[in-house]
Chain A
C-alpha cells in the first residue's frame, strides 16, 4: 500500500500522486487538520486518512473511496461527482456542498448547511445536522438519523430529505411529504449500502411545495 505521512510529506505531493490516476489502496497518516487533502481525485483508489482533516477534504471527488478516521472541516466532499466519502467523526459546515453524485456518509454529526446546493449526491448522516441544511438543494437525498436544525430545506428544488429525529423550523417552500412504500424501499437500500443501523420506517420525508418555482405575488410572504 502506498503511504503518505503528512508530518513530512506535503499535501501537494499527496495530491499530485493522487492525480496520476492510481488504483489500489493509499494511506495518509498525520493529516493534522490540513486543508485540501485528497481533493480532485479522478480514479477508483481507496484512500484511508488516519486523523482529522481541515477544509475541502475529498473536494470534487470522482470514483474514489475516501475514509476519514476523524473529524472533517468545512466543505468535506464539496462538489463530489461519484465515489464514496466517509467521515467517521463529525463534519463541519457545508458538508457535501453542491455535490452532484456519489455518497457522503457522516457517522457523527454534521454542522450548518449540510448538503447546501446539492445536485444529486446522497448524504447520510448518522447523527444530527445544523441549520440551513439542504438550502437550495436541487437533486439527491439527505438522510438525517438524528435531528435537523432550523430552516431545513430552505428554497429546496427536487432534492429529497429524510429525517428520523426532530426538525426545527422548516425553510421557505419546504414541507413534510408522504412517505410512500417506494420511498421507504429506496431509503432502506441507501441505509443498507452505507452500513448505518437505522430503520427506514422511522423516517419522515420533506421536499418542495413547489409554490416558489414561478414568482407569484400572493406567495411573496414565503420569502
Chain B
C-alpha cells in the first residue's frame, strides 16, 4: 500500500473527532468549556455596506453629525434607559467573572454612557457602585434575587435563555464556588452548581405576562422590563415576548458566549445571529411594534461593522459579552506558561470554566485576579468601545445617515447565498433574495 493511501484521513472522523471520542472514553462526561461557538457560521462578515454613490449622498466624516444615542424601554416604563451609545454590556455572572472584571465593565460602561448587566450570581456592590446604568437579571436560578436590588436596578431582564445554550441552565463548577460566591447563591462551597433551565414560578407566555406585571408592581412601573431569549424560534418568541408585555427584547444568537457549558450544546443548538436579527425585526414589524418595543441583539458582535449591520437590519442596540472580555485581556498574549498549563495557548483559550483564567477575568482566585486591575481593564474596554463607536459612525456617515439607527436593509448587500437568504438582503450584483418570490 502506498504511503499516501495508508495516511489518508477520514472526513467523518478527523483528528479532532477522534481525540474527542478518546477523551469521552477516558472521562465519561461531555466536554464543558467557556467561550462561544467556534465552528464557522454565517455571520455579519457575509454582508457589506453599499456606502455612497451617485444615488446616495454621504455625510462628511468628523464634521457632520451622526448621532448614536438610543432610548430603551419606552413602552411602559416611567424611566426608560437613555444610552449615549447603542452598545451595551451583556449579562455575565459574578462567579463566572471575578469582582475586578465586573468593576472594570461597570467603570467603562459608565464612562461611555451605556449599561452593564448582572448575571446568574446576582448583583454585587462593585458593579452597582461602578455602573451608572445597571440591568438586573431575573434568571431561572433566582440566585441572590431580592427586592432591594430589584428596586435599585435601572432595568430588569427576565432571562428565558441565552444564545450559547437555549434550553440549558447555568453551570458553575465547584472550584469556582468560593465562600463569597456560595453565600451570594445560598449554596454549599465547592459543589458543582446547576442552575435550572426553567423559571420556578412561571411556565409559558401567559404566565410570563403576569410575572412581568408582578415585577412592574414591585417597581411601581418605574423601570423597563427586558425579556432575553436565545435565538431559536425567534419569530414566535419575539411575538410572545411582546404579548407578555416586554419593553425591550434581547435576542442572543448562537455565537453568544458562556463561561461553562457543554461543547455539544454550544456548537449544535440555536441559530446564528444573522438570521435571528431579521426574524426578530420582522416579528416586531408584523405586530406594529418595531421601535416601540426595542430590540437588542447579541451573539458574536465584534466590531462597529457588526453593530451597524445589526442596526441596518432593524436592531435598536447591540450587546457585547465575549468581545468585552477580549477587550479586558481574554486571550491576550500574556502569561503564556499559564495558558500552557491549561493545555492551551493565547488565541485558543476557552478555559473560563476552570477558574484558572491566566489574565484574571474568569477566576475567583485572588492571585490570578490581581492580574486584572479594574482601572486598567476599564481603560481597555473604554478604548475598545470608543473604537467601535467611531467605526459605527464612519460606516453610517458613508451611507448618509445622521443617526446610526437610520441605517436600513437597503444599505446592505450579501456576499453569499446563505447570507442573502438569512438576512433577506439581495445577493451582491443582483436583485435576488433567495426565497423571495417578488
Contacts and interface: CB of A to CB of B under 8 A. Distances in A.
Mutual binders A and B: yes
A40 to B, nearest CB: 3
A213 B192 CA distance: 6
Contacts of B196: 117, 136
Contacts of B220: 15-16, 19
B213 A36 contact: yes
Contact of B147 (A40, A55, A117, A215): A40
B435 interface: no
A71 B296 CA distance: 40
A138 B186 contact: yes
B209 to A, nearest CB: 10
Contacts of A97: 142, 200-201
B28 interface: yes
Interface string A70-106: 0000110011010000000000011001101000000
Contact of B186 (A74, A120, A215): A120
A213 B218 CA distance: 35
Nearest to A57: B214
A45 to B, nearest CB: 15
Contacts of A117: 141-142, 196, 200
B142 A98 contact: yes
Main SS of the interface on chain A? loop
A157 B188 contact: yes
User: Looking at B27, B185, B207, which has the most chain A CB atoms within 10 Å of its CB?
Assistant: B207
Chain B's interface size range is 20 to 34
A83 to B, nearest CB: 12
A188 B217 CA distance: 37
A138 B200 contact: no
Given A138-B187, A213-B192, A214-B192, A56 B147 contact: no
Nearest to B28: A217
Nearest to A95: B201
A214 B142 contact: no
Nearest to A136: B196
Interface string A2-25: 000000000110011001000000
A141 interface: no
A16 B145 CA distance: 21
A137 B190 CA distance: 17
Given A94-B200, A117-B196, A40 B187 contact: no
Interface string A141-157: 00000000000000101
A39 B146 contact: no
Contacts of A110: none
Interface string B213-232: 11001111100000000000
Interface in B170-189: 174, 185-188
Nearest to A140: B186
A80 to B, nearest CB: 10
A217 B174 CA distance: 16
Interface string A99-131: 010000000000001001101100000000000
Contacts of A113: 200
Contacts of A119: 142, 186
B201 A139 contact: no
Q: Which 9 A-B residue pairings sit nearest by Cβ, starting from the closest?
A: A40-B218, A217-B28, A98-B142, A213-B191, A97-B201, A75-B201, A94-B201, A60-B147, A97-B200
Given A60-B150, A81-B146, A81-B147, 15 more contacts: A35-B210, A35-B213, A39-B214, A40-B150, A56-B201, A62-B147, A94-B200, A97-B142, A98-B142, A98-B201, A113-B200, A119-B142, A135-B200, A138-B186, A220-B28
7 contacts: A55-B207, A60-B147, A97-B142, A98-B145, A116-B201, A120-B186, A217-B28
